Amino acid sequence: MADTPTPKAICSSSCRTGDAGSSVPAGLQIGALKLANPVVLAPMAGVTDLPLRELCVGLGAGMAVAEMLTSDPKLMTSRKSSLRRCHNAQSGLRSVQIVGSEAQQLAEAARLNADDGADIIDINMGCPAKKVCKKAAGSALLADERRVEEILKAVVAAVDVPVTLKIRTGVSPQQRNGVAIAKIAEDAGIQMLTVHGRTRADRFKGEAEYCTIAAIVDAVGIPVLANGDITTPTKALAVLEQTGAAGVMIGRAALGRPWLPGAIAQALSGASAIQPSHAERFLQMRTHLTALHDFYGDFMGVRIARKHVGWFFDAIEADLPSTFLNWKRHFNALVDTEAQQALLQTLGSHCQNNELAA
């Protein structure tokens, strides 16, 4: 892979109470399920739809978690929820994330999705979005440990498939109760825990911290995934060394870079992590574009493609001497599938021939 900057200090080895320098995990066990590698694409609302999950798994991600689904029965059959529940064999194990604040409602949502074929039920207690937290859901639940326990026990009892949990390090920097939540989760029967290295109050501000994740790893016996600001294979290796986590979950860093989870998985296996060439990345984006058009149809597909291609332009811009700002604006003005494909094909050909102009 191309040289990447040395990551900033994550946390000192003294943050861990366990053995330092543990070996990089080769796979990931979630209950009776075994992933080929411990690199998971994070669930991101409006992002990790079926086309992106299929692409990332095809490029080497160990698993890709679907967009969060509401547990509100009035909304379960909406068009948005129906699209989020779509799955196929090419997108790997089916991990469905549910969000809500009522134990029995979440348990029923878990049953519905397990009956629909979910391999794993993931519970969202990490989302810091205001529209989620104002309903006492997502990361807002971290402030109510009794309710957390009630929800986790209800969902685990409702299904026969593994139940996993995504959390943050705590409510605020002054109340990092992630270790307490993790112990509650393990006692309730949660099979895997993902921890984002910020608190609810932090939202996405500042830098992720990994010392709390290391403390959680030492406190429980279930697999823990480290999440937050893991942007390169080098950073992933450093985070695993410092935390002793069983794997990593990649979120925003994969926007426009669907190959990144697979490249990190290569690095964790001891192989050289090969970053795709610019021409290969254009080909990946064109494949993704076709899948978006097919999945959403011509009208919505053209519109939804704009954000994904925008992230692609943002990600590739840093690697090329020319700016993509004008091309992004040009793409956003296109109104049909053929024009979108033609522009990417032209830019990819110019890129391959080293002819791309500003």
Question: What are the angstrom distances between the C-alpha of 275 and each of 232, 272, 278?
Answer: 10, 9, 9
Please write the tens of the pLDDT for every residue from 161-204. Answer: 999 999 999 998 999 999 999 999 999 999 999 999 999 889 89
Sign of CA dihedral 167, 168, 174, 177: positive
pTM (predicted TM-score): 0.89
Backbone angles phi, psi at 334, to 5 degrees: -75, 145
CA dihedral 187, 189, 193, 198 (to 10 degrees): -50
Report the C-alpha gap between 106 and 92 in whole angstroms: 24
User: Contact 272/1 with Cβ under 8 angstroms?
Assistant: yes
pLDDT average, residue stretch 235-251: 97
Fold annotation for 23-268: TIM Barrel (3.20.20)
User: Contact 24/30 with Cβ under 8 angstroms?
Assistant: no
Give the number of other CB atoms < 10 A from CB of residue 297.
12
Residue 111, pLDDT score: 95
User: Contact 126/167 with Cβ under 8 angstroms?
Assistant: yes
Question: Rg for the chain (alpha carbons), in Å?
Answer: 20
Please write the tens of the pLDDT for every residue from 249-283. Answer: 999 999 999 999 999 999 999 888 788 988 899 99
Please write the tens of the pLDDT for every residue from 338-356. Answer: 999 999 998 888 777 664 4
SS3 of residue 124 by DSSP: strand
Report the C-alpha gap between 123 and 1 in whole angstroms: 34
Catalytic residues: 127
User: Contact 242/16 with Cβ under 8 angstroms?
Assistant: yes
Report the C-alpha gap between 97 and 85 in whole angstroms: 10
Backbone angles phi, psi at 353, to 5 degrees: -90, 10
Q: Which of these, 153, 118, 124, 154, lies nearest to 136 by C-alpha position?
A: 124
Average pLDDT, the chain: 87
Looking at per-residue confidence, does 46 or 10 come out higher? 46
Give the number of other CB atoms < 10 A from CB of residue 39.
31
Amino acid symbol at 147: R
Sign of CA dihedral 240, 217, 99, 36: positive
Task: Examine the pLDDT at 16 and tell me if it is beyond 80.
Answer: no
Which positions ≥6 away from 78 have C-beta within 8 Å? none
